[in-house]
Amino acid sequence: MNTERVGATGEGTPVHRWTLERAGTRLRLLTYGGIVQSVEIPDRNGTVANVALGFPDLPGYLGAGGPYFGALVGRYANRIGGAAFTLDGRTYRLAPNDGPNSLHGGERGFDRRVWDAEPAGDHGVRLSRISPDGEEGFPGRLDISATYTLDADGALRIDYRAVTDAPTHVNPTNHTYWNLGGAGSGPATGHELRIAAGHITPVGDTAVPTGELTPVEGTRFDFRAPRPVGSGYDHNFVLDGTGPAAELYDPVSGRVLTVTTTEPGMQLYTGDHFDGEPYGPGDGIALETQHFPDSPNRPAFPSTVLRPGEVFTSATTFGFSVR
């Protein structure tokens, strides 16, 4: 494990990069945005490549306007419809940074903040920050941490923990785009994907869930058996909750990504809106473990409310192998 300063934000706040290595996996993590800058793993022939899309230096991330490459997003991952919600009889207005909706925490969410960092054992880094009451419109002073650990098999585990001093909504995730052929190697939409989900939450015209749960059987959303990923996906899958949530496989390199999580949902996003700077459409696949989009406005969805005296916890593991 080592750390180095890699620059500073426009306000002059120093940014550091932590490097973790274990069991054939090398992870580079930035304190800016909790960003997974790179994940280097071998293919079936032992050739190592970075399989996480990102930029080679800090200025790339400071100038990025929306892809969320590798970032820790929150307070609320995904969309909140109408950029507002009502909690305990009070309505809170958020920044509408995605059409009429709030996306990934607002205009300056967790992905655009510098986090405090400290070692977590021999193979981990604990990032933490205080999100003050009213930040991006969310109520409550939120004390949140995300601990990134490489386990004995070289898998990346992310553990989230948060407490609040007032009722609020919490739903963080990691927004890494994966290309198991290597970042910059071309489209990842030929990878084979399996998702343990029998339903999705269908969306309306502004990509916010309608509130229904729709079966995937007989549709293009049925990934219960592995098949190649196409384009045009930006949807939340309702996980079955048994075994791994997803498995992504690149037949060319032999690399396999296995996702396990405590979360009830996962957003599949195929990066169709990449403009070629530096990646083109479909060059990476995001598998964002999460609670459902717009849960603050959908009482039938699993709750994202956190109250004083409660502790929010969540864990997701990205395992790496070959075949």
Give the whole-angstrom CA distance, residue 96 versus residue 25: 38
Quick one: pLDDT at residue 66?
Answer: 76
Q: Is 16 annotated as a binding residue?
A: no
Instruction: Read off the pLDDT band of 276 (50, 70, 90).
Output: confident
Q: Using the CB atoms, write b or e for 110-149: b if 16+ within 10 Å.
A: bbbbbbebeebeebbbbbbbebeeebbbbbbbbebbbbbb
Give the whole-angstrom CA distance, residue 157 versus residue 176: 13
User: For this structure, is 288 an active site residue?
Assistant: yes
Give the whole-angstrom CA distance, residue 266 versus residue 293: 10
Average pLDDT over every residue of 73-83: 98
Give yes or no for a contact between 49 and 181, defined as CB atoms under 8 angstroms apart.
yes
pLDDT above 90: percentage of residues in the chain: 97
Q: Where are the domains of the chain?
A: 2-322
Maximum separation of any 2 CA atoms in the chain, in Å: 59
Q: Is 141 annotated as a binding residue?
A: no
Give yes or no for a contact between 173 and 290, defined as CB atoms under 8 angstroms apart.
yes
Distances (CA, A) of 239 to 76, 177, 221: 19, 20, 13
Give the whole-angstrom CA distance, residue 127 versus residue 307: 22
Q: Which amino acid is at 9?
A: T
Q: Is 78 annotated as a binding residue?
A: yes
Give the whole-angstrom CA distance, residue 145 versus residue 156: 16
User: For this structure, is 277 an active site residue?
Assistant: no
Quick one: pLDDT at residue 173?
Answer: 98
Quick one: pLDDT at residue 29?
Answer: 98
What residues contact 272, with CB distance under 8 A and at least 6 apart?
231, 232, 234, 281, 282
Quick one: pLDDT at residue 275?
Answer: 85
Give the whole-angstrom CA distance, residue 26 versus residue 31: 17
| CA triple 123-262-148, angle to 5 deg | 20
- Residue among 123, 191, 288, 291 flagged as catalytic: 288
Q: Is 297 annotated as a binding residue?
A: no
Give the whole-angstrom CA distance, residue 140 versus residue 127: 20
Quick one: pLDDT at residue 63?
Answer: 87
Q: Is 175 annotated as a binding residue?
A: yes
DSSP H helices, the chain, are 58-63
Instruction: Read off the pLDDT band of 274 (50, 70, 90).
Output: very high
Can the peptide bond before residue 90 be classed as cis, meaning omega within 30 degrees of 0? no
| CA triple 118-256-35, angle to 5 deg | 30
Q: Is the pLDDT of residue 277 over 90?
A: no
Distances (CA, A) of 294 to 204, 206, 210, 311: 12, 12, 9, 21
Quick one: pLDDT at residue 37?
Answer: 98
Return the H-helix or E-strand segment holding 260: strand 255-261
pTM, two decimals, is: 0.97
DSSP category for residue 34:
T
- Per-residue tokens: 229: 């990923």
7-29 tens-digit pLDDT:
999 999 999 999 999 999 999 99
What residues contact 286, with CB distance under 8 A and at least 6 apart?
175, 176, 177, 178, 267, 268, 269, 270, 271
pLDDT above 70: percentage of residues in the chain: 100
CATH class of 2-322: mainly beta
- Residue among 175, 191, 199, 235 flagged as catalytic: 175
